[in-house]
Structure 1
Amino acid sequence: MLPLVRLLQLASPALPVGAYTYSQGLEWAVESGSVKNEAGTARWIGDALSHNLARFEAPLAAALMQAWNDGDDARVAALNADFNASRETMELRAETVQMGWSLVRLLGDLDVFARLPGWRDRLLAVDEPAFPTAWTAAAAAWQVPADQAIAAYLWAWLENQVMAAVKAVPLGQSAGQRLLSELGETIPALAEQALALPEFEWSNFNPGLAIASSRHETQYTRLFRS
């Protein structure tokens, strides 16, 4: 049961990496009127989850877990560089680097991670670690099964997006729970797809998200950092 407990810790909104301060373009979508109610929120988050997260970030995270487990640090470095390069805007790149740095620092302070032979040094050797790179290092070191890890990774992203929507749209708490129930049902299939998707089919092509993020960088008033 211990790997499950560690996974719950990694997927918890209490993980102190600053995820709650980011909306990943959702705040601008609200400001522009593209998202203004529960149904619009479900479409926005659901599309990003299925077309972006599940087709690029999640399969890349699965590949990172495999590389960490195989001791293939060159592969880890290459995947980390690919992910950083895939961030279309300044704030999206700053987000993953900041969260990655925060998680690396946290893991370095946790005895349960630092006691594992070689893991801390391997993680510190990664140049500018992105958040999925640091997150999968912890999941692999704590022997979390890959299918559970990817499902939890998607859930953590979904939960953060719904929490951002509750504040920004705004939505009530019951609406937030309905969104988590509805969109959460898609996660098992999306995680399975991500684990099986060959690298030549990975794609984060989502121009709407990129435009929203770039517009958010100069938005006059905002609650979130992205």
Structure 2
Amino acid sequence: MSLALSRLLQLASPALPVGAYTYSQGLEWAVEAGLVKDQAAALEWIARLLENGVSRFEAPLTACLQRAWIAADDYEVKRLNADFLASRESSELRAETVQMGYSLRRLLHELDDFPLPPAFDSLPEVSFPVGWALAAASWEIAIADSLTAYLWSWCENQTMAALKTVPLGQAAGQRILLALGRRLPAVAQQALELPEERWSNFAPGLALASSRHETQYSRLFRS
């Protein structure tokens, strides 16, 4: 097994201490509103957001961030970080990526023999994709592999949120992940090939769900 693969598994692991498990990205409100109430509805919600939202903005941006770190293009890193922060359509979605980015930056500082470029610490706020892309670049993980793992980690977190809130059983969660996993190769390839002029974070359902979640009376998740 290559070292890059073991590093990639570590990066994508739920054990990565960045707090991803505390966020549902509006899914908790969708459950509260009755839009997601069983396995089929959970799969549809997650898959649509994956294919029509994450794959068209967050995923290609993350891939470009890794290329920028490899090229030591500090200006491009700064620009893409600012673009991602500006793209978050609710205060809790923005707070989510800033908190996860902060936690990942702190973790990378605490790892042995992990060189951090000065540009990383010069950013006042670090979005999570910036830290992920830096780790992947530093560990010499192929961009296609790191992006697939990034998307898998996102799908896994959404599925775990569905298990807790719908609620669903463990077998249902695995069926959802199997179905999402079949889509990931095409989604990752699309993101790698999508030119920036065609990026779009237009996902009104996510924006509404997240905004309404901010005032939801009873909730388990921070987004």
Q: What's the % identity of the aligned pairs?
A: 62
Whether 2:64 is the aligned partner of 1:63: answer yes
After the TM superposition, which residues 73-222 of structure 1 pair with which residues of structure 2 at under 5 Å, given as runs? 73-113=74-114, 116=115, 119-222=116-219
The CA distance in 1 between the partners of 2:155 and 2:123, in whole Å, is: 27
- Name the aligned partner's letter for residue 32 of structure 1: A
> How far did residue 121 of structure 1 move?
2.6
Q: Where has structure 1 moved over 6 Å in runs of 4 or more?
A: none
1:17 corresponds to: 18
5+ residue gaps, structure 1, are none
> How far did residue 112 of structure 1 move?
3.5
Asked whether the 8 Å contact 1:108–1:120 carries over to 2, the reply is no
Structure-1-length-normalised TM-score: 0.97
CA distances 1:63-90 after superposition (whole Å, capped 9, x unpaired): 0001000010000000000000000000
Asked whether the 8 Å contact 1:24–1:92 carries over to 2, the reply is yes
5+ residue gaps, structure 2, are none
Structure-2-length-normalised TM-score: 0.98
- Name the aligned partner's letter for residue 170 of structure 2: Q
> How far did residue 125 of structure 1 move?
1.8
Q: How many residues align?
A: 222
The CA distance in 2 between the partners of 1:36 and 1:195, in whole Å, is: 33
Structure 2 residue matching 1:187: 3-state secondary structure: helix
Structure 1 residue matching 2:113: 3-state secondary structure: helix
- What RMSD over aligned residues (CA atoms) do the two structures have, in Å? 0.7
Asked whether the 8 Å contact 1:77–1:127 carries over to 2, the reply is no
2:30 corresponds to: 29
> How far did residue 130 of structure 1 move?
0.1
CA distances 1:114-140 after superposition (whole Å, capped 9, x unpaired): xx3xx2433212230100001100000
